[in-house]
Amino acid sequence: MRVGVGGALAVALALLLACACTDPVHSDRVDALGGELPGTHPGPDHRPGQPCTYCHGGQGPAGPVFDLAGTVFLEPLGDAFGVEGAEVELMDRTGKIVGAGTNRSGNFFFRDGELGLEFPLRTRIRYGGGDFIEMTTPIFRARSCGECHSGAGPDSVPRIFVQGTP
């Protein structure tokens, strides 16, 4: 096959653009998430507890894009899947509140444009008709709960859980 100068330039330009558009930090984060849990497939129930917007944040590789997303668990440790039916509420400094419920794997999410709040955000959760439990500190800019709620430690906090409520 003979490729002319124009063709060679086009290929070189395409390769250059492909390289230029790859964010290695983002790629590494996505790769570090690993595979799906056994028996699960991509969808609203998958990857509970993981930082959802690493993939659903607009840089890919997954869609739809979420404004904010997370998972509510029954306990700080244990079951890999969260609880269904937990209520999550977020409020900004103007007092505007939006809410979401968790699905069968404990996941909740606000799709692109659904959140409509200005950071920072106060957050509270409730499960089974119990009292709301408020998060101690506001969310300043993270759009995935799993970014910080990845386990108790010096640089992370336990996953979100509702143990102690009915």
Cα 67 to Cα 138: distance, rounded to the nearest angstrom: 16
In the complex, the smallest distance separating the C-beta of residue 121 from another protein, rounded to whole angstroms, is 9
User: Facing residues of 109 across strands?
Assistant: 69
In the complex, the smallest distance separating the C-beta of residue 81 from another protein, rounded to whole angstroms, is 23
Cβ proximity to another protein: between 65 and 119 the closer is 119
Which one-letter DSSP state was computed for residue 158?
P
Q: Give the interface with another protein as residue ranges (CB under 8 A).
A: 89, 91, 93-95, 97, 119-120, 122, 124, 132, 134, 136-142, 147-148, 152-158
Cβ proximity to another protein: between 78 and 120 the closer is 120
In the complex, the smallest distance separating the C-beta of residue 100 from another protein, rounded to whole angstroms, is 16
Q: Which residue from 107, 96, 97, 111 is spatially nearest to 145, judged by alpha carbons?
A: 107
Cβ proximity to another protein: between 46 and 158 the closer is 158
Cβ proximity to another protein: between 36 and 134 the closer is 134
In the complex, the smallest distance separating the C-beta of residue 68 from another protein, rounded to whole angstroms, is 12
Cβ proximity to another protein: between 62 and 135 the closer is 135
**Residue 75 to residues 1, 19, 22, 93, 149: CA-CA distances in angstroms?**
62, 43, 38, 30, 13
Identify whether 42 is preceded by a cis peptide bond (ω within 30 of 0).
Answer: no
Rounded (to 5) percent helix, strand, coil in the chain:
20, 20, 60
User: Facing residues of 153 across strands?
Assistant: 156
Q: Alpha-carbon Rg of the chain, whole angstroms?
A: 20
In the complex, the smallest distance separating the C-beta of residue 96 from another protein, rounded to whole angstroms, is 10
